[in-house]
């Protein structure tokens, strides 16, 4: 009976400890659940395109969970889930002349193009939430919603924006030293 009580107490303490850690989400917990890959690439392109590195990491995590060869049913490719036509346009804007779809499997190129595109959207809309909505739903949809005086019309896109903002907070908290301070 004493062993059973002891086991129940240990279980309750562990459960309470787990619940506390989950609710407070210290940096080590965030790093455990949200691993950051391609850190140097994320930092470098965030700096070059004047982006919050935690935002860039959050978009990558939401889009591909840092899987470089991710593919979507809509044809988006790589870490930042870029459509080939979008990437081809970005390549032209950034001085590239020989774009190949296989380039999107290269983490450095994919994040460079995605970071450029995210900066373009932030400059165009001058609002992070709207830029994220456009990244997810496309500029045409966002432009139409804005012209009609509407908010984000797609529930999937509203969820996407909230999720990226949540992830941005996680990456900022969990990786502050390496993302935000250039270590």
Give the DSSP H or E segment for 43.
helix 39-48
Sign of the dihedral defined by the CA atoms of residues 130, 70, 66, 119, in that order: negative
Whole-angstrom Cα distance, residue 130 to residue 109? 25
Question: 3-state class of 70 per DSSP?
Answer: coil
Catalytic residue among 25, 63, 108, 156: 63
Question: 3-state class of 71 per DSSP?
Answer: strand
Question: 3-state class of 127 per DSSP?
Answer: coil
71: buried, middle or exposed (CB in 10 Å: 19+, 13-18, 0-12)?
middle
Residue 63 is among the residues annotated as catalytic for this protein = yes
Residues in the chain, how many?
A: 183
Question: Which residues are known to be catalytic?
Answer: 63
């Amino acid at each position: 009976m004493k062993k059973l009580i002891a086991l129940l107490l240990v279980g309750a303490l562990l459960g309470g400890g787990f619940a506390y850690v989950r609710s407070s989400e210290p940096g080590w917990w965030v790093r455990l659940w949200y691993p950051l890959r391609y850190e140097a690439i994320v930092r470098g392109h965030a700096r070059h395109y004047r982006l919050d590195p935690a935002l860039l990491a959050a978009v990558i995590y939401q889009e591909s969970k840092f899987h470089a060869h991710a593919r979507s049913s809509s044809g988006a490719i790589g870490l930042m889930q870029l459509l080939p036509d979008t990437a081809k346009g970005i390549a032209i804007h950034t001085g590239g002349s020989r774009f190949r779809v296989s380039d999107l499997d290269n983490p450095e190129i994919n994040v460079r193009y995605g970071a450029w595109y995210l900066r373009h959207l932030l400059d165009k809309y001058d609002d992070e939430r709207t830029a994220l909505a456009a990244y997810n739903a496309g500029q045409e949809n966002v432009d139409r919603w804005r012209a009609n005086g509407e908010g984000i019309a797609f529930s999937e896109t509203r969820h996407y924006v909230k999720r990226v903002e949540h992830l941005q907070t996680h990456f900022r908290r969990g990786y502050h030293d390496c993302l935000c301070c250039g270590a």
